[in-house]
Structure 1
Amino acid sequence: MADSLQNPAVAGALESSNPDSGPPPKPKRNTFALACALLACMSSVLLGYDTGVMSGAMIYIKRDLKISDVRVEILVGTINVYSLVGSTIAGWTCDWVGRRYTIVIAGVIFLAGAFLMTFATTYSFLMIGRFIAGIGVGFALMIAPVYSAEISPRSARGFITSFTEVFINFGVLLGYVSNYFFAKLPTNLGWRFMMGVGAIPSVMLIVGGFIMPESPRWLVMQGRVGDARKVLDKTSESIQESQERLADIKEAAGIPQDNHDDVVEVPKRKTGGRGAWRQIFLHPTRAVLHITIAGIGLCFFQQACGIDSVVMYSPKIFEKAGMKTDNDRLLATISVGVTKTICILVSTFWLDKIGRRALLLTSSGGFVCSTIGLAIGLTVIDRHPNEKITWAIAFCFLCTLGSVGTFSMGMGPVAWVYSSEIFPLRLRALGGAMAAGANRLSSGIILMTFLSLSKAITIGGAFFLFGGIALLAFIFFFTLLPETRGRGLEEMEELFGTFFKWRSTAKELEERKRKRLESENKKNDLV
């Protein structure tokens, strides 16, 4: 029995079952883990800033370089397609050189892209800069949530990982503010300064990447258990939690629990690579298939519902709604950025309290209503081109804020939190890369077709279409996504595999965990 007490998971279970031990003390939030996640999520500012700044910069780029609407669509949307390349490569470098050096690579690549875009003299030159910046965005979007999830203590994982979306929103707001101030410069200079400011977060990201610790899960995958233990001691809320997390990671990596060496050999099948591709695409288990569909589907629908068209083309929407001057439209877009930032901060503090599922369903339901409302308002304005319908203009403005607000309260942060935590350790890098790739692909398609789509079926018709897609997303979320709040990263696989029965699956997981602890107790008693 004495040996069983050396197992932290068993010891914790025994202690919690002792009525004389009293209630466990409430853990303190780990500020070191939070600081590391904040540095990692700084990479998300790159995507947010590019999205926000291009909403205004494209107006002046079109005037300066004298390009057509089709070229504007390509310029705006292709960065998301290019980011597919970055996400794919990041899924490999993430396992090869580690999580934090992948973050450094993201900063270096985006810095080079921002430099080229700032000094571009032709459309072709500008597109080369967009290609390089897009690769950097792909790196950043894949690695930030993965690193944050792996560095976070269990009780605060939703809070910390959601900062990926917080920083995307902060970047969008920064881009809007940059548009407003630099729009006062001459046309050929204003948009260059707008693009050049994106280099600042890149430099901060590069510096931060060399300061932050490596992910403990990646360290264990390399057999560096001693180094992983040191990181876990710093990023856990107690020593007991650190020991439990290490035991779970070792089990997932195939390392025997009685092996206490600081450097060990990890079975190759557990470290990812080609084996991960086979496990996901060729011979997936029922649980892995469910996880893959849930993770990729969630990230796909997050953008397929058309949120980036609201954010990126908000000046166009406000122009259609009756705002005629550049200054008025850019000021209105700042209100969009402020609304997104406030709503994401609200949701950040609720992710670990009410759970991912409740926020996601509430958010997607609100987004459906707001988007359809925006479609109705724009259709009314479109059918009365010679009249100024004040109520319809105000209604469109409120529905625009409602769309970005409801999105940011759930669909925005939950997609990155959920997709980064559900994949098993051996599949996490590849799974995260595929989820980020699906997200950027759907965003790229939306952005590259929005102007053409709005001309073909009217701008109101486009948002009716997005509202329909958002309704499909709600049904997908309701039927296929179980609650993951409070679960360890190594327990996630047990939650999945029983389609459409997510409530009973969660209960079954608790029962299996209880039986496993009882089995360990009996085994250790015999020893």
Structure 2
Amino acid sequence: MAQHRPDHEAPLLDAGSAAKPDDAVAPPTPAKRNKYPFFCAVLASMTSVLMGYNVAVMSGAQIFMAEDLGVSDEQIEVLSGVINIYSLVGALLAGWTSDRLGRRLTIVLANAFFLAGPLAMSLAGGYAVLMAGRFVAGVGVGYALVIAPVYAAEIAPASSRGLLTSLPEIFINTGVMLSYVSNFVFSGLPVHLSWRVMFAAGALPTVLLAAGVLTMPESPRWLAMKGRLAEAKSVLDKTSDSPAEADQRLLEIEDVVKSTDQSAGGGGAWRELATKPGVRRVLAIVLTIQFFQQASGIDSVVLYGPRVLSAAGVTSTPLLLGLNVLLGFAKAGSILVAMALTDRVGRRPLLLASTGGMAAALVWSSARSSPRRAAPAAPRRAWPPFVRRGAFSVGFGPLAWVYSSEILPLRLRGQGAGLGTAMNRIMSGVVTMTFISLYQRITMAGAFYLYAAVAVAAFVFVYACLPETRGRSLEDMEELFHTK
């Protein structure tokens, strides 16, 4: 049976009023969605642009670094993937930082890392300094991955939470796309300047962005956790679709905070892992969905797009970088589809379509890359990476973060998101630090068949283990997963 939200119901007539028989009944006026939380979530999620840029700029920069500094394939493999391992530091600290300093200051701290890291990379004269700059940027990546979706989830009303929590993913992919554009635009510079300018360009917006973040409100849930209920109520009034919804959200948050204080018993909320199966189930889901998101090999295309396209028969460097830009546009455009559908269609259908599409695209890539087949024209062989990126971005890319952020209980959201991000970055690091060695050993086709098997396992996991969460408040999740 279709569910109807209260704010969409027709208003009742007053007791003393009566509609005239000849009068037409006016259609119900739909409640207007509040745009203020959208602007707040956009500003917070802009940090994700820097995150995507810093991770993916190596895709094209590695070509010129190898020529300028003599960096080997093995060193390129480490430099490309190690940023994901370094991001573990930021991911594990982000929960602690966000719970103590607040969500806003944690976003500002991420921007500071994105200023220092790329500048160090752009001035590097050797491998050691490149690794140091990659470490600093990696810490910022971990912070950004955790805090942007947490803030968006906590600031958003239920009617638009799926959309707003998808924003960090669309901005990550905007950053990836901009890094590819940077690779293409600056490739015409002298070799010793081109890759340095590519890195330095990522540091330019950080100061302005950090200043903008300080103008947005703090998370109402964090304020409530700190006992600042009047401030929390003020933020909820600004970010809810109606005053009644603001009051209801505050009551639900207060109830969760009160139950957290009573259950913690001075020993910390993590004791619940030993006593509450629902909490263990939620954490297991978060870790598993983040594992599958990266183990399916998407970052092998993000960081090694030119190599994948080169294996497909494209030989010109300008054409490689140009097609890489188109891959970035395809990935970002697909996320717009996910943003439009997640609050209408639901999380499960998009996740199932995404994992199934990824598996099919990977098998197609494997078949096209097989040395036993006659090689088609290069443009035709370049199609599978586009389909693979599109399938990933229409569901699994953004919704892994949406789902993880909304099912974690308030008392564990910061730290739980940090653990989920740590799993995501570990698997991304494993994929990106082994991809060159893997395809050199088992061929490009063999690598894609392996990733296809992981995508099939992800489809089964989504179908069997993930309930639908569309339209539920964050506090409702505690009932759904029995984490109270």
Where on the TM-score scale, by shorter chain, does this alignment land: which range? Answer: over 0.9
CA contact (8 A) 2:10 2:27 kept: no
Task: Please name the residue that 1:68 is paired with.
Answer: 72
Q: Offset at 1:289? A: 1.6
The answer to whether residue 162 in structure 2 is matched with residue 158 in structure 1 is yes
Matches within 5 A, 1:127-146: 127-146=131-150
Any idea what the Cα deviations from partners look like across 1:149-182, whole Å, max 9, x if unmatched? 0000110000111011100110011000000010
Any idea what the Cα deviations from partners look like across 1:300-350, whole Å, max 9, x if unmatched? 111110001012111001111111111010011011011011111111011
Q: Offset at 1:269? A: 5.3
Task: Please name the residue that 1:440 is paired with.
Answer: 425
CA contact (8 A) 1:114 1:198 kept: yes
Task: Please name the residue that 2:468 is paired with.
Answer: 483
* CA 1:14–1:365: 2 relative to 1, 3 Å: closer
Q: Offset at 1:431? A: 0.7
Q: Offset at 1:274? A: 6.1
Matches within 5 A, 1:92-103: 92-103=96-107
Of 29, 33, 43 in structure 2, the residue corresponding to residue 29 of structure 1 is 33
Task: Please name the residue that 1:524 is paired with.
Answer: none
**Aligned-partner Cα distance in 2 for 1:276–1:450:** 39
**Aligned-partner Cα distance in 2 for 1:418–1:284:** 23
Task: Name the aligned partner's letter for residue 278 of structure 1.
Answer: R
Task: Please name the residue that 1:453 is paired with.
Answer: 438
Q: Offset at 1:114? A: 1.2
**Aligned-partner Cα distance in 1 for 2:54–2:163:** 25
**Aligned-partner Cα distance in 1 for 2:41–2:190:** 39
The answer to whether residue 269 in structure 2 is matched with residue 276 in structure 1 is yes
Task: Name the aligned partner's letter for residue 325 of structure 1.
Answer: S
**Aligned-partner Cα distance in 1 for 2:175–2:223:** 31
CA contact (8 A) 1:287 1:494 kept: no
* CA 1:404–1:224: 2 relative to 1, 3 Å: same
CA contact (8 A) 1:27 1:237 kept: yes
**Aligned-partner Cα distance in 2 for 1:476–1:146:** 24
The answer to whether residue 343 in structure 2 is matched with residue 343 in structure 1 is no
CA contact (8 A) 1:113 1:131 kept: yes
CA contact (8 A) 1:254 1:270 kept: no
Q: Identify the range of structure 1 (27-36 vs 77-86) with the bigger mean alpha-carbon deviation.
A: 27-36
Task: Please name the residue that 1:390 is paired with.
Answer: 376
Of 161, 176, 186 in structure 2, the residue corresponding to residue 182 of structure 1 is 186
Q: Offset at 1:288? A: 1.1
- What is the SS of the residue equivalent to 2:31? coil
* CA 1:274–1:368: 2 relative to 1, 3 Å: farther
Q: Offset at 1:15? A: 12
**Aligned-partner Cα distance in 2 for 1:341–1:363:** 15
The answer to whether residue 280 in structure 2 is matched with residue 286 in structure 1 is no
How many residues are aligned here? 469
Task: Please name the residue that 2:175 is paired with.
Answer: 171
Identity fraction in percent: 47
Q: Offset at 1:390? A: 2.9
Task: Please name the residue that 1:233 is paired with.
Answer: 237
The answer to whether residue 386 in structure 2 is matched with residue 401 in structure 1 is yes
Task: Name the aligned partner's letter for residue 270 of structure 2.
Answer: W
Task: Please name the residue that 2:365 is paired with.
Answer: 374
**Aligned-partner Cα distance in 1 for 2:144–2:267:** 23
Of 261, 275, 279 in structure 2, the residue corresponding to residue 267 of structure 1 is 261
Q: Offset at 1:200? A: 2.6
Task: Please name the residue that 1:356 is paired with.
Answer: 347
Q: Offset at 1:296? A: 1.4
- What is the SS of the residue equivalent to 2:408? coil
Task: Name the aligned partner's letter for residue 407 of structure 1.
Answer: F
The answer to whether residue 121 in structure 2 is matched with residue 110 in structure 1 is no
CA contact (8 A) 1:356 1:484 kept: yes
Q: Identify the range of structure 1 (292-301 vs 204-213) with the bigger mean alpha-carbon deviation.
A: 204-213
Structure 2 gap segments, 5+ residues each: 15-25
CA contact (8 A) 1:52 1:312 kept: yes
**Aligned-partner Cα distance in 1 for 2:111–2:263:** 31
**Aligned-partner Cα distance in 1 for 2:401–2:7:** 35
CA contact (8 A) 1:158 1:352 kept: yes
- What is the SS of the residue equivalent to 2:475? helix
- What is the SS of the residue equivalent to 2:204? helix
CA contact (8 A) 1:179 1:194 kept: yes
Task: Please name the residue that 2:290 is paired with.
Answer: 299
* CA 1:30–1:15: 2 relative to 1, 3 Å: closer
The answer to whether residue 228 in structure 2 is matched with residue 224 in structure 1 is yes
Task: Name the aligned partner's letter for residue 467 of structure 1.
Answer: A
Q: Offset at 1:24? A: 6.4
- What is the SS of the residue equivalent to 2:268? helix
Any idea what the Cα deviations from partners look like across 1:484-521, whole Å, max 9, x if unmatched? 000010110221259xxxxxxxxxxxxxxxxxxxxxxx
Task: Please name the residue that 2:19 is paired with.
Answer: none
- What is the SS of the residue equivalent to 2:344? helix
Q: Offset at 1:110? A: 1.6
Q: Offset at 1:57? A: 0.5
**Aligned-partner Cα distance in 2 for 1:438–1:14:** 39
Task: Please name the residue that 2:57 is paired with.
Answer: 53
Task: Name the aligned partner's letter for residue 357 of structure 1.
Answer: R
- What is the SS of the residue equivalent to 2:444? helix
**Aligned-partner Cα distance in 2 for 1:51–1:378:** 26
RMSD: 2.3
Give the TM-score normalised by the residue count of structure 1.
0.85
* CA 1:62–1:14: 2 relative to 1, 3 Å: closer
CA contact (8 A) 1:155 1:486 kept: yes
**Aligned-partner Cα distance in 1 for 2:252–2:417:** 20
Task: Name the aligned partner's letter for residue 286 of structure 1.
Answer: P
Q: Offset at 1:286? A: 1.9
**Aligned-partner Cα distance in 2 for 1:431–1:230:** 27
The answer to whether residue 142 in structure 2 is matched with residue 149 in structure 1 is no
Any idea what the Cα deviations from partners look like across 1:349-385, whole Å, max 9, x if unmatched? 1110000111010111001000111111111xx347x
CA contact (8 A) 2:77 2:432 kept: yes
Structure 1 gap segments, 5+ residues each: 1-11, 256-265, 499-527
**Aligned-partner Cα distance in 1 for 2:269–2:53:** 33
**Aligned-partner Cα distance in 1 for 2:479–2:129:** 50
